Structure formats: C-alpha cells, structure tokens
Amino acid sequence: MTISQNWHEKAGVLIEALPYMRRYAGCSVLVKFGGHAMGEQEYVNAFAADMMLLRQVGTRPIIVHGGGPQIGKMLEKLNIETNFVNGLRVTDEATISVVEMVLAGAINKSLVASINAAGGCAVGLSGKDGNLITATKLTSQSENDGQAIDLGFVGKPETVNTAVIDALMGAEMIPVVAPIGLGIDGHTYNINADTAAGALAGAIGATRLLMLTDVAGVKGADGNVISHLTVSEARALIKDGTVNGGMIPKVETCIDAVETGAEAAVILDGRAPHAVLVELFTEHGIGTLITQD
C-alpha cells in the first residue's frame, strides 16, 4: 500500500466515524496487539497512529502486546532449543531471560517509540513494574495420560495492581505493557499476552477489551462471523464444538474479562486497515462483541 492510498483509506474511515468519535471519551479501552503484524513496521506505524487518534478524541487506550514470533527468532539465533506444550512455550531459565529481553526490551520500546513518533506520549512497562501483575506458576496436562507437565517459568496472573496504570492514564499517557509477571516466589514468569490482557481489562474495568487476531471474529456453524454473543451463548458454542482450536482460549479470555469487570470484549481481525477505529467508531463494528447475559 502506498502512502497516498493509506491516507485516502484513513480519510474514508474518519469520515464514517465522525458521528461516533466521542462515544468512548473518558473510557478505558484495552487493546491486545500481537502476532506477525508486530514484525512489519507498516502495520506498527498504522497501529501507533490509531492509538494516538484514540487519545486525541478522549479515549484512554492501554496496550498489552505479545511477541511470540520475535522470541522464536531470537531463541533460534542464540541456538536455544524451544518446545511447546498445548500451545504454551516451555520456558527454562535460559529461555525466560530471552523472553524478558525481547518482550520488555526490544518489542516494548519499539512500540513505545512508534506511538511517540506519531505524536503520542507512551510509556513502556512490564507486569513486574509497580507490582502490576503478580503471577503464579502454570502447569499443563499431557493429552495422553493427563499427567501434569512442568512448563518452567510460565505463569498466569494471580493479582493485578492497577496503581501504575491509573497514574499513567491520569497523566494522559498511553501504557504499553509487556506480559511478564513477578511470581510470589520471586521468579520472573512469561504470561500469555491474551491472558494478561484479559486480566488487566477486568481489573481496570475497561469499557472494551479489543483482542486483535488474524481472523474476522467468532464464526457460527454456518461459517459466518457472529456479531454479538452473551457469555452464556459463547460458552454454549465452546461446549457444542462450534468454537474450537485456538479460538477457545481467546473466547474464554473474553468471558473472564467481562466477568471480572470489563464492560465488553471484542474479537476482531487486527489485519484489517484501522481495525480498532472501525470497531469503536462505526455503527456496527467489525468483530464479535461478547457481553454479560
């Protein structure tokens, strides 16, 4: 896409969004940003500009980012073997050092720099800063015999202390959070970015949790995207197998976020141009909205 095409496209989005631009003024919107798009500067720059626009119209964005592909590349470069169990990276002492370096270092600061270059005022931090996320060790089970599998330094949020987030948003800054947590045992833990985003969205009472993925949303049995689900309806789709595979943990994360304090959660295609703006500032949005019953 050329610069001219990008600006023409953005102008069209903004014109359509004008009647809705103040809809989320004063509201907190947590955006989970990740995947392969983070490795393409064009996508990062467009995302950064959109975050800046949110702040300009009074919305208060908070970003939680992933970085799996970038971690994988660094581990390969350092000749550190990596394995996955049920989609989770087994994280030993050597691996957690690389994970923290990549997530809280290179990726986090690059995203912060892109937002600031777009005119924003972003601040990077990890779940270890300000006791933001206290983690506990996460284990998995073998699909063969159900035995517990030690994943190493992989954790899940136990408590969330929003004081540092509240302070940054109060100063009109954009928090950018790397999903690393400090365990109650003093160890550093790698936390799935979706899980971290859901826990933080619930804790801050976000008006929206936006889960940017590589699919258009939750699809029904007919293959079409479902525009709205209640928690009960979402659980029923998981139970009957309509929601399956990698979509299950994303939907479960949205359910958890809504049940712990977020007003609503949305699963949407982060590859779509200006996906966040279209979802928030157009009449019907583009993803699957999940709300309380």
Which pLDDT does position 15 carry in this prediction? 56
- The answer, yes or no, to whether residue 23 has pLDDT greater than 70, is yes
- The answer, yes or no, to whether residue 11 has pLDDT greater than 70, is no
In this structure, the dihedral spanned by the alpha carbons of residues 51, 55, 60 and 62, taken in order and rounded to 10 degrees, is 30
Q: Quick one: average pLDDT of 61-67?
A: 95
Q: pLDDT-derived band of residue 6, with 50, 70 and 90 as boundaries?
A: low
- Residue 161 forms part of a structural domain: yes
Q: pLDDT-derived band of residue 1, with 50, 70 and 90 as boundaries?
A: very low
Q: pLDDT-derived band of residue 246, with 50, 70 and 90 as boundaries?
A: confident
* Lowest mean pLDDT, pick from 4-8, 150-154, 214-218: 4-8
| 125-139 pLDDT per residue, tens | 999 999 999 999 988
Which pLDDT does position 3 carry in this prediction? 41
Alpha-carbon span 5 to 119, nearest angstrom: 21
Q: Quick one: average pLDDT of 94-114?
A: 94
- Residue 93 forms part of a structural domain: yes
CB 85 within 8 Å of CB 149? yes
- Residue 12 forms part of a structural domain: no
Average pLDDT, the chain: 89
Which pLDDT does position 16 carry in this prediction? 58
- Residue 11 forms part of a structural domain: no
Alpha-carbon span 196 to 200, nearest angstrom: 6
CB atoms within 10 A of CB 45: 15
For the sheet with 228-230, list strands across it.
122-126, 174-178, 60-65, 28-33, 208-213, 264-269, 288-291, 228-230
Burial of 275 (0-12, 13-18, 19+ CB in 10 A): buried
- Residue 101 forms part of a structural domain: yes
- The answer, yes or no, to whether residue 78 has pLDDT greater than 80, is yes
CATH at residue 71: 3.40.1160.10
**What Å distances lie between residue 114 and 65, 120, 124, 189, CA to CA?**
14, 9, 12, 26
- The answer, yes or no, to whether residue 7 has pLDDT greater than 80, is no
Q: Quick one: average pLDDT of 48-54?
A: 93
Which pLDDT does position 87 carry in this prediction? 78
- Residue 18 forms part of a structural domain: no
> How many domains are contained in the chain?
1
Bridge partner residues of 150 (DSSP)? 139
**What Å distances lie between residue 239 and 93, 204, 248, CA to CA?**
37, 29, 10
Burial of 7 (0-12, 13-18, 19+ CB in 10 A): exposed
Which pLDDT does position 9 carry in this prediction? 56
| 198-242 pLDDT per residue, tens | 999 999 999 999 999 888 899 999 999 999 999 999 999 999 999
Alpha-carbon span 33 to 65, nearest angstrom: 5
Percent of the chain with pLDDT over 90: 66
- Residue 6 forms part of a structural domain: no
For residue 45, what are its two tokens?
Answer: 């720059």
Which pLDDT does position 266 carry in this prediction? 97
- Residue 216 forms part of a structural domain: yes
Show the domain range for 228: 25-291
More confident residue, 57 or 37: 57
266 Cβ neighbours under 8 A, 6+ residues apart: 208, 209, 210, 211, 254, 279, 285, 287, 288, 289, 290
* Lowest mean pLDDT, pick from 6-10, 17-21, 115-119, 274-278: 6-10
